[in-house]
Each structure stands twice: as C-alpha cells, then as structure tokens.
Amino acid sequence: MSLEELRNYKRDWLTCEQVAPILGTDRANLHDQAVTDPAALGFPVVVIKSRVKIPRIPFIKFMTE
C-alpha cells in the first residue's frame, strides 16, 4: 500500500503490515519497536496486548511533514 492509497483508505486504523513497506522496514521490526519504545517511532501507536494499531491520519501527517 502506498501513501497515496492510505489517503483514500476508508479505515481509521492501520497495521504494522500496511505501514512497514512505506517506512522501508520489516513488519516484525516495526511491531517490536512499537511494543518496546513507541515514542521512538515519531508517530502515535496503540498497543493492546500483542496487537499494534496505528491511527491513519496522524501517520499520514508524520510522513508528509
């Protein structure tokens, strides 16, 4: 999924699998970072047990600013 596709995406939340290619990283590495030190990512994440959710609009802002 590209950043342009994310702009038109209907859901409010993204997964590590969707975001990792845009960041040029592996899904597992992104997930591990979100769980261990989410502030270091630079964009907000919500961690619920082993699940990581990324709010779409703040992520797009992070990538375009």
pLDDT of 3 reads: 86
- What global pTM score does this model have? 0.89
Q: How much is the average pLDDT of 33-58?
A: 95
Distance CA 45, CA 58 (A): 9
Three-state DSSP at 30 gives: helix
Distance CA 52, CA 32 (A): 9
Domain boundaries, the chain: 3-64
pLDDT at position 42 over 90? yes
Task: Name the token pair of 14.
Answer: 């993204």
Model confidence band, residue 20 (pLDDT cutoffs 50, 70, 90): very high
pLDDT of 45 reads: 97
Residue 15 near residue 62, CB atoms below 8 Å: no
